[in-house]
A and B are shown apart, each in its own frame.
Chain A
Amino acid sequence: MIVANGYLRTDGRKGIRNVVAVVYLVECAHHVARRVVDKADDDDVHLLGFPGCYPNDYSLRMMKALTTHPNVGGVVLISLGCEGFDRDGLAASIFESGRPVETVVIQEAGGTRSGIDVALAAVRRVQTEMQRLERRVPMQLSDLTIGTICGGSDGTSGIAANPAVGRAFDRLVDAGAICIFEETGEMIGCESAMAARAASPEIASAIDTSIGNAETYYRAMGYGSFSPGNADGGLSTLEEKSAGAYVKSGSRPINGVIRPTQAPDGPGLYLLDVVPDTPPKFGFPNISDNAEIVELMSCGAHLTLFTTGRGSVVGSAIAPVIKITGNPETYARMKEDMDIDAGRVMLGEATLDQVGDDIFNLVLAVAGGAQSKSEDLGHREFILNYKTIDAVGPACHPGSL
């Protein structure tokens, strides 16, 4: 099934958007980069960045993965000049990917005003080069990678929105897509059920290890999982609470455990393990929902399914976000921000299968170019911070062995 007129990249991957990434390489270059994006006044020019001055292997790997994401067609790097980020290494990897890339150094350009002017001209040159290189090709469902997260959850998430996403994930996996779920810290207690779905004993063992690792990490951070409010809402046990988040993954076999920046090497369903297996060093594995979305994108996610009960408004740079709420009141109150009303399940107006079909169909439409609500509202959130985590997950697709 052809779902989109995609953008073919020289590495063979296909994008559903054609974004120019304007990237600040330290907070000191953030203002210039933001002004460049404002002045470009183009929905497809997105702002990314890393705030830290000290080099960090994870953030460099993340930036390499994100600036060569299938939805990105060209890049302008904005450097202050003295930060620790390996800007030449990043520029080289973008160049090797076949994408146009330019680097603007504010100190060399003569400061803020001329830095903005030089960088804006660079954006225009990159756009011209992208037009010259553009190759549109039919994109199949099997060319798509879809991630899922939850945020601002409430009692309806585990009843309506998350199970509906699970049904959509089953349909997407059956059609040959890559689907990725994550946040092992919210799945403590589900490891037996997850391991039973693993495609191989090696993957089952890797799942068990990842969950144990998450448990250790969050305990060290002093972060408990089950609260009295959960019991008030009807949840009785830790495993029940975790199952409510885990159910987003659907029911198909789990084909691998991957880490941020690691793209799955075959179709199917994958667990993204975002928790470092070292003692806490830079804090929480992900400090907000967008940090999770950024990690899903680093594994190639073309778009993200975001379930929310209380009502998140976020979108993302690079890859569209589709928001699904299971709370009918949230939908009524925040209709402009919500793509899918899974609250119909709570009201008895739709089945989980019907809402799952709605999600599946919307994935196809957004892949085909339709704007998601957050995209249309101009949401282009992005966050990247320090972290230490291995580049390669403990077990990947059995077909790769």
Chain B
Amino acid sequence: MNGSAVIVLSPIDNVAVCRRNVTIGEPLAMDGETAVAACDLLIGHKVARRPIPRGAEVIKYGMSIGSATADIAPGDWVHLHNLQSNYLSIHARTSQAPA
């Protein structure tokens, strides 16, 4: 058990989640990978564990939770400013499907 400020919820995740508030410059141990917090981070918010190029999927719980809208470096805050949903409702998918 380590006392890291962040937790990695699934081994394949490219983000970790803050277990407490984190201060800029704090070193973050993320299950074998390390980075330095690029800004202050609030509890419950996400921080990049690996480089995530613009357009790549952001993975949490081993699941895609959306795509990066900018290049993201390890230690960067990941939230609304650089991540967007890929979710398309089933109705929208159905109505867009070719007949």
Q: Which residues of A contact B (CB under 8 A)?
A: 155-156, 159, 163, 188-193, 208, 211-212, 215-216, 231, 233-240, 243-244, 246-247, 251, 345-352, 354
**B38-66 contacts to A (CB < 8 Å):** 42-46, 60-66
Residue pair B65, A234 in contact (C-beta under 8 Å):
no
Given A159-B44, A193-B63, CB of A346 within 8 Å of CB of B20: yes
**Interfacial chain B residues near A215, Cβ < 8 Å:** 89-91
- Residue positions of B touching A, CB distance < 8 A: 1-5, 7, 9, 17-20, 42-46, 60-66, 78-80, 83-87, 89-91, 94
> Does B19 lie within 8 Å of A237, measured CB to CB?
no
Contacts of B5 in A (CB 8 A): 348
Count of A-B contacts judged by CB separation below 8 Å: 95
Contact B86 A239 (CB under 8 A): yes
CB pair A234 B42 closer than 8 Å: yes
Q: Output the least CB separation between A165 and chain B (Å).
A: 13
The distance in angstroms between the C-alpha atoms of A348 and B2, with both chains bound, is 6
Contact A236 B79 (CB under 8 A): yes
Task: Give Cα A352–Cα B31 distance, bound, in whole angstroms.
Answer: 13
Name the residue of chain B whose CB is nearest to the CB of A344.
B1
Smallest CB–CB gap between B42 and chain A, Å? Answer: 7
Please report the C-alpha to C-alpha distance between residue A11 and residue B43 in the assembled complex, in whole angstroms: 50
Q: Quick one: which of A163, A190, A211, A234 has the most chain B CB within 10 A?
A: A234
Closest B-chain residue to A231, C-beta based?
Answer: B80
A236, A243, A251, A351: the one contacting B80 at CB < 8 Å is A236
- Complex Cα spacing A58 to B43, Å: 43
C-alpha spacing A345/B46, complex, angstroms: 16
Query: Which residues of the partner chain B approach A188 to less than 8 Å between Cβ atoms?
Result: 87, 89
Partner of A159, one of B3, B17, B90: B17
- Tell me the bound Cα distance from A155 to B44 in angstroms: 6
Would you call B85 and A237 a contact (CB within 8 A)?
Answer: yes
Contact A234 B44 (CB under 8 A): yes
Is there an interface contact between A240 and B44, defined as CB atoms closer than 8 Å? no
Q: Do B85 and A349 touch (CB < 8 A)?
A: no
In contact, B79 and A247 (Cβ under 8 angstroms): no
11 additional A-B residue pairs with CB within 8 Å, beyond A234-B42, A347-B19:
A156-B44, A159-B19, A163-B61, A191-B90, A212-B89, A215-B90, A234-B18, A237-B84, A239-B87, A246-B61, A348-B19
19 CB < 8 A contacts A-B: A159-B9, A193-B63, A193-B64, A212-B89, A212-B91, A212-B94, A215-B90, A234-B42, A236-B83, A236-B85, A239-B85, A345-B7, A346-B19, A346-B43, A347-B19, A348-B1, A348-B19, A351-B1, A352-B7
Once A155-B44, A243-B63 are accepted as A-B contacts, the answer to whether A208 and B90 lie under 8 Å apart by CB is: yes
Distance (whole angstroms) from the CB of A269 to the closest CB of chain B? 16
Residue of A nearest to B84 (CB): A237
Q: A234's contact among B17, B61, B86, B89, by CB below 8 Å, is which?
A: B17
The reply to whether A348 and B78 form a contact with Cβ atoms under 8 Å apart is no
Expressed in whole angstroms, the Cα–Cα distance for A163 and B61 within the complex equals 8
Find out whether the CB atom of B46 lies under 8 angstroms from the CB atom of A236. yes
CA distance A233 to B45 in the complex (A): 7
CB distance from B93 to the nearest CB of A (A): 9
Quick check: A212 and B65 within 8 Å, CB to CB? Answer: no
Minimum CB distance partner of B78 in chain A: A236
Q: Which residues of A contact B4 (CB under 8 A)?
A: 348
* B66 & A240 in contact (Cβ 8 Å cutoff): yes
User: Which residues of the other chain, A, contact B42 by a CB distance below 8 angstroms?
Assistant: 234
Nearest 5 CB-CB pairings of A with B: A212-B90, A234-B44, A234-B45, A240-B65, A237-B85
| Chain B, Cβ-Cβ closest to A247 | B61
Known: A159-B44, A163-B9, A243-B60. A236 touches B65 (CB 8 A): yes
By the criterion CB–CB under 8 Å, are B46 and A239 in contact? no
Known A215-B91, A243-B61; judge A234-B66 contact (CB<8 A).
no
Residues of A near B83 (CB, < 8 A) are 236-237
